[in-house]
Amino acid sequence: MTIKPIETRPFDDQRPGTSGLRKKVRVFEQPHYLENFIQSIFDVVDATAGGTLVLGGDGRYYNREAIQVILRIAAANGVARVLAGRGGILSTPAASCVIREHGAFGGIILSASHNPGGPDADFGVKYNIGNGGPAPADVTERIYARSREIDGYRILEGDDVDLDGAGPFMLGETRVEIIDPVADYTSLMEKLFDFERLREMLTGADFAMRFDAMHAVNGPYAAEIFGARLGAPAASLLRCDPRPDFGGLHPDPNLKYAKALVDELFDPAGPNFGAATDGDGDRNMILGREFFVTPSDSLAVLAANAHLVPGYADGIAGVARSMPTSGAVDRVAEKLGIDCYETPTGWKFFGNLLDAGKITLCGEESFGTSSNHVREKDGLWAVLFWLNLLAASGRSVSELVTDHWREFGRTFYSRHDYEGVDSDGASAMITALRDALPSLPGRRVGDLEIVSADDFAYTDPIDGSVAENQGIRIGLAGGGRVVMRLSGTGTEGATLRVYLESHEPDPARHARDPQQALAAQIALAAELARIEHHTGRDAPTVIT
Ligand code: VG1
Ligand code: CO
């Protein structure tokens, strides 16, 4: 087999966003586009020292083709060993687990996460480092800089690797091992949770759950863990056959895109527990009977009750949440006497804190929760954690959460997304807000008083790196907040995210509908940011 140098010209749009490089499949299918980006990774990361690379994806359209290309480029760049998920499959948390278990120098994960899949939809490439987590910004910026000047890549000529075969295969000097995508991950889950107790609960007559894999990567993981190991009835596992286009749906586990599951759980005679995960398996949505748990509350409840779960019985070192995530977990940390960190949006910012042992649990309002067991958010882990809490406490989902509110107060929370708006209008809106920041504190809008306003900047407490312009943060008297930022994961136009939050200590006022409880915050955001003027929209496209 020969290594072929190919001349190429740089593309100018390969800057990774919140979570890797995400583009339309058609963009990735352009000649040399994927190759350039992969070569840029290998030019930045030294892959020649005899190490192992982990490779897999969420199974979406173009996954297998991309894996064949990446294997050949890896071989031409002197990677000694590649661990590839069978069928090209690895969920994001499983890839993180495999990188850590096998001491790999890094991994390439192919996914556009919760974005739709198919020939006209989205694809993505993410590079993770040796701790199993997303590459930090200095690495992604170097990869981007390289992609702007690249003039060639190296690729091995040869046949495709049989991703469904037993392996190992040799690609030139590179050994490609085909691994069971669920094995390492399942063993890790068995170490953290009380599988015996879970099995008892899931096979019992008075417990019914529904898990919706949304035709995405977690199907086989759920079949193994909930089905084979824990004995959950087949009828409780929904859409567990992964499809390249996710069945034509949006694999995003929220109130809008997992509506069938939500409807089932909101039936008064419905199951006790419902959950869904996203395209690449790192997001989760938790539902009880007639009850939706906001991701911010979920993180707070997990932190407050972690001692009930075997893997966390010794207590937690600290917690972290992304800036737009509600302050519910902060109150738990205060009570536990542990540190709570506020980081920018995106999982890469948790990595250093986890590595340094500063935090055990962390989460984002965007349906992401996880712990120090991997360096990615982890959908199935969150579902198992909740199940373990139900089994150990004997309480229902709604009881656990409403008890929590009684103890800590309720943090009403909602996110309003304005998807696919005009990029220039959205940028102009953020710029205008930024310019107005100094004039905001002290101002009243309706009944709300603004006490602080800034553009969030973060200095990493471990390595001192600084991330600026991470979102407009408006603090309100009484502990409420309005946060606004632009998405860094979209592939079309811009998406404005408006995060709304208020704190209510009085249990008599906990049963309100969040949209009503947050009406004043919603009005404040519209007025201050002039959302309709800048975006032409008078309502959000998704409310969670
Ligand atoms: C969104 C979420 C963010 C999350 C990111 C990746 O980013 O808000 O919290 O980390 O998606 O999640 P943005 O920039 O669009 O707001 V995943 O499951 O799509 O990898
Ligand atoms: Co995801």
- Structural domain includes residue 404: no
Tell me the CA–centroid distance for residue 282 and ligand 2, in Å: 5
428 and 390 in a single domain? The answer is: no
> What pLDDT is attached to residue 226?
98
Ligand 1, atom 1, residue with closest C-alpha:
489
374 and 515 in a single domain? The answer is: no
Give the E-state strand segments of 232-373 in sequence order. Answer: 237-238, 273-277, 284-288, 291-293, 318-322, 339-343, 361-364, 368-371
Choose, from 113, 296, 366, 487, the residue flagged as catalytic. 113
145 and 6 in a single domain? The answer is: yes
> What pLDDT is attached to residue 155?
96
Rounded to the nearest 5°, which phi and psi values hold at 156?
Answer: -85, 135
Q: What's the domain count of the chain?
A: 3
- Asked if 529 and 500 count as a contact pair (C-beta separation under 8 A), the reply is no
Q: Among 181, 205, 239, where does a domain finish?
A: 181
Tell me the CA–centroid distance for residue 278 and ligand 1, in Å: 11
> What pLDDT is attached to residue 220?
98
- Structural domain includes residue 230: yes
| Nearest atom, ligand 1, residue 488 CA | 14
Ligand 1, atom 19, residue with closest C-alpha:
113
Residue identified by tokens 């209008």 is 425
Q: Fill in the amino acid letter for 160.
A: D
Q: Among 181, 202, 229, where does a domain finish?
A: 181
107 and 131 in a single domain? The answer is: yes
- Structural domain includes residue 402: no
> What pLDDT is attached to residue 493?
86
> What pLDDT is attached to residue 492?
81
> What pLDDT is attached to residue 47?
83
388 and 432 in a single domain? The answer is: no
Nearest ligand to residue 91 Cα: 2
Which residues have a beta carbon within 5 Å of ligand 2, which is an ion? 113, 278, 280, 282-283
339 and 439 in a single domain? The answer is: no
CATH of the domain at 494: 3.30.310.50
- Structural domain includes residue 235: yes
For every one of its 544 residues, what pLDDT tens digit does the chain have, with 9 covering 90 and above? Answer: 788 889 999 999 999 988 899 999 999 999 999 999 999 999 999 887 779 999 999 999 999 999 999 999 999 999 999 999 999 999 999 999 999 999 999 999 999 999 999 999 999 999 999 999 999 999 999 999 999 999 999 999 988 999 999 989 999 999 999 999 999 999 999 999 999 999 999 999 999 999 999 999 999 999 999 999 999 999 999 999 999 999 999 999 999 999 999 999 999 999 999 999 999 999 999 999 999 999 999 999 999 999 999 999 999 999 999 999 999 999 999 999 999 999 999 999 999 999 999 999 999 999 999 999 999 999 999 999 999 999 999 999 999 999 999 999 999 999 999 999 999 999 999 999 999 999 999 999 999 999 999 999 999 999 999 999 999 999 999 889 999 999 988 778 899 999 999 999 999 999 899 999 999 999 999 999 999 999 999 999 999 9
What number of other Cβ atoms are within 10 A of residue 480's Cβ?
25
CATH of the domain at 215: 3.40.120.10
454 and 370 in a single domain? The answer is: no
SS3 track for 461-519: CCCCCEECCCCEEEEECCCCEEEEEECCCCCCCEEEEEEEEEEECCHHHCCCCHHHHCH
450 and 473 in a single domain? The answer is: yes
Ligand 1, atom 16, residue with closest C-alpha:
487
> Which structural domain, as residue segments, surrounds residue 374?
185-396
| Nearest atom, ligand 1, residue 497 CA | 16
293 and 255 in a single domain? The answer is: yes
Q: Among 181, 214, 232, where does a domain finish?
A: 181
- 3-class SS at 392? helix
369 and 261 in a single domain? The answer is: yes
Nearest ligand to residue 20 Cα: 1
176 and 194 in a single domain? The answer is: no
Is 19 among the residues known to form the active site? no
> What pLDDT is attached to residue 50?
79
- Structural domain includes residue 403: no
| Nearest atom, ligand 1, residue 365 CA | 9
Tell me the CA–centroid distance for residue 281 and ligand 2, in Å: 6
143 and 166 in a single domain? The answer is: yes
